[in-house]
Amino acid sequence: MNYEHILIRYAELSLKGKNRKKFESKLEQNIKQALITFPNVKTNRSFGRMFVELHGEDEKAVSEKLKGVFGVYSFSPALKLSLTETNIVDGALWAMKDALPSGSGSFKVTVRRVNKDFPIGSQDMNKVVGGYVLRNMQDLTVDVHQPEVELKVEIRQEAAYVTCKSVRGAGGLPVGTSGKVMLMLSGGIDSPVAGYLALKRGVTIEAIHFHSPPYTNDRARQKVEDIAKVLTQYGGDIKLHIVPFTDIQTKIHKQIPDNYEMTVTRRFMLRIAAVLAEERKAKGIVNGESLGQVASQTLESMYTINEVTNLPILRPLITMDKLEVIDYAKAIGTYDLSILPYEDCCTIFLPAESKTRPTREKSERYEHWLAIDDMVQQAIDGITTVDLKLGEASQPDFEQLF
Ligand code: ATP
Ligand code: MG
């Protein structure tokens, strides 16, 4: 015998009423995508459950991939057994031996009979299965409160399923069920984590990166590409838009007083991101800001910078401390890339002191000297886009995520 199935649970989805069909088919599609390197794997759905059929593929390797799929709450390797009492008890015994190779430990049986045509009721079947396992594994004890192994038997229309363990999934919602957002992706630690957390809530992302050659070099650009590749493991294919930003930064540096340079730079970034978002039909912008982390992320700064767009700005890290963000970055596999020491466009030209309480009025007054729309349009016209495909980066260690 061998586990040939993985039973997938997606609790939050079942709350979604009429959207449920869409959510389920997206989830199934994303699971297929994540398991694309296992050619024999098939998926199927029935009554609020999804199954991955292994057809000989390695259960452990498939499980590792499943852990990264948003929308999966938990999953269990399962035996699929035809509906006879003998088959079910034999399967249950095999699964118990697999779960407790030493043969000793505590367990509890839960039988659920969904299929009322099956002749033995849940309660009786509980006793039948429990008794059989106990007779065949001498060192086992029953513990209904804190069992080491919870042996679950689900008797359904098409078959009975036996599971012994439940693996926690990534949670969240399937990517592609919440619309599209534009992620402002720097080479830093924060924005990739912000992208990951946005993906977790079901959005698809495109990424925008501001690049200022020759002050920022090709390696800095490559680094951002590599970071975006890591994100494809969670979000599927990602378009990365690289915006030439040198001209704008040079103009700002010439025209704007030192202490407003940073604020005005940010306002330009946001304007460009907003125009691109509208063009690409993204309904919001995600960034890696965390309240009070640096001068540009005070509430006053956000108020002043945010003025240039009406698009919702999602800030998944807004309440996080840097150390929490770093933990995430390590777990999702972006940290080592982010700390590579290449110049970011935000650090060139910028004076040591920036205003922590910039005002909208002053920003507007200073910007008056700049041909804002032309500058934005030129930047948009100069964009180059890289198409990043799922599976180009190595597998992260999902265990660390939880
Ligand atoms: P990060 O680690 O993401 O760079 P940070 O703490 O260094 O964040 P800032 O450099 O002030 O903070 O940037 C704040 C946010 O602005 C970033 O999280 C990112 O979303 C966006 N951003 C900054 N620089 C760029 C860039 N060159 N291209 C695209 N977005 C950027
Ligand atoms: Mg940064």
Same domain, 202 and 65: no
Mean of the pLDDT values across residues 247-273?
95
- Whether the Cβ atoms of residue 343 and residue 217 lie closer than 8 Å to each other: yes
Q: Are residues 133 and 198 in the same domain?
A: no
Same domain, 77 and 216: no
Considering the domain boundaries, does residue 210 fall inside one?
yes
Cα dihedral 248/228/287/341 (nearest 10): -70
My answer on whether 53 and 114 are in the same domain is yes
Evaluate the omega torsion of the peptide bond into residue 77 and state whether it is cis, within 30 degrees of 0: no
Residue 116 lies in a domain: yes
Q: How many CA atoms within 13 Å lie on the side-chain side of 95?
A: 32
Of all ligands present, the nearest one to the C-alpha of 344 is 1
Average pLDDT over residues 194-216: 95
Q: What is the mean pLDDT of residues 359-377?
A: 96
Q: Determine the Cα–Cα distance for residues 282 and 305; give it in Å rounded to an integer.
A: 20
Residue 245 sits in the same domain as residue 212: yes
Would the annotation count 266 as a binding residue?
A: yes
Q: Does one domain contain both 291 and 344? A: yes
Distance, in Å, from the CA atom of 304 to the CA atom of 232, rounded to the nearest integer, reads 33
Establish if 124 belongs to a structural domain.
yes
Confidence of residue 11 (pLDDT cuts 50, 70, 90): low
- Asked if pLDDT for residue 218 goes beyond 60, the answer is yes
Q: What is the mean pLDDT of residues 113-126?
A: 95
- What 3-state class would DSSP assign to 159? coil
Cα–Cα separations (whole angstroms), residue 76 to 79, 109, 181 = 10, 15, 32
Question: What is residue 341's predicted lDDT score, i.e. its pLDDT?
Answer: 85
Q: Are 115 and 83 in contact (CB under 8 A)?
A: yes
Q: Which atom of ligand 1 is nearest to the CA of 211?
A: 27
Residues 195 and 319 in one domain: yes
User: Does a structural domain hold residue 40?
Assistant: yes
The Cα 117–Cα 349 span in angstroms is: 76
User: Which residues span the domain enclosing 88?
Assistant: 5-168
Which of 114, 144, 168 terminates a domain? The answer is 168
Nearest atom in ligand 1 to the alpha carbon of residue 286 is 20
State the average pLDDT for the chain: 91
Encode pLDDT of 27-62 as tens digits.
999 999 999 999 999 999 877 779 999 999 999 999
φ/ψ (deg, to 5) at 262: -65, -45
On whether both 217 and 352 belong to a single domain, the answer is yes
The number of domains in the chain is 2
CATH of the domain at 155: 3.30.2130.30
138 and 43 within one domain: yes
Do residue 368 and residue 250 come from a single domain?
yes
Centre of ligand 2 to C-alpha 64, Å, is 32
The CATH number linked to 189 is 3.40.50.620
Compute the average pLDDT of residues 76-89.
95
Handedness of CA 131, 135, 137, 140 (dihedral sign): positive
Flag whether 216 is in a domain: yes
Domain-embedded: residue 393: no
User: Ligand 1 mean position to 220 CA, how many Å?
Assistant: 13
Within 6 A (CB) of ligand 1 lie: 184-186, 188-191, 208-210, 287-289, 293-294, 296, 344-346
Of the listed ligands, the closest to the CA of 296 is 1
Q: What is the pLDDT of residues 296-318, one digit of tens each?
A: 789 999 999 999 999 999 999 99
The response to whether 185 counts as a known ligand-binding position is yes
pLDDT of residue 402: 47
Residues 75 and 160 in one domain: yes
Identify which of 376, 209, 362 has the alpha carbon closest to the alpha carbon of residue 300. Answer: 362
End residue of a domain, out of 168, 188, 209: 168
pLDDT score of 398 more than 60: no
How does residue 352 score in pLDDT terms, banded at 50, 70 and 90? Answer: low
| 201 and 273 together in one domain | yes
Q: Name the closest-CA residue to atom 22, ligand 1.
A: 186
- Whose CA is closest to atom 20 on ligand 1? 287
pLDDT band at 100 (very low <50, low <70, confident <90, very high): very high
Give the residue carrying structure tokens 């969670």.
234
Domain boundary among 168, 192, 214: 168
Ligand with minimal distance to 293 CA: 1
| Alpha carbon distance 83, 168 (integer Å) | 28
Contact at 8 Å (CB) between 36 and 232? no
Q: What is the atom index within ligand 1 of the atom nearest the CA of 287?
A: 20
- Over the stretch 327-351, which tens digit does the pLDDT of each residue have? 999 999 999 999 998 777 666 676 6
**Per-residue pLDDT band at 201 (split at 50, 70, 90):** very high
Residue 385 has a CB neighbour count (10 Å cut-off) of 13
Residue 213 Cα distances to 43, 114, 228, angstroms? 47, 64, 20
The pLDDT of residue 216 is above 90 = no
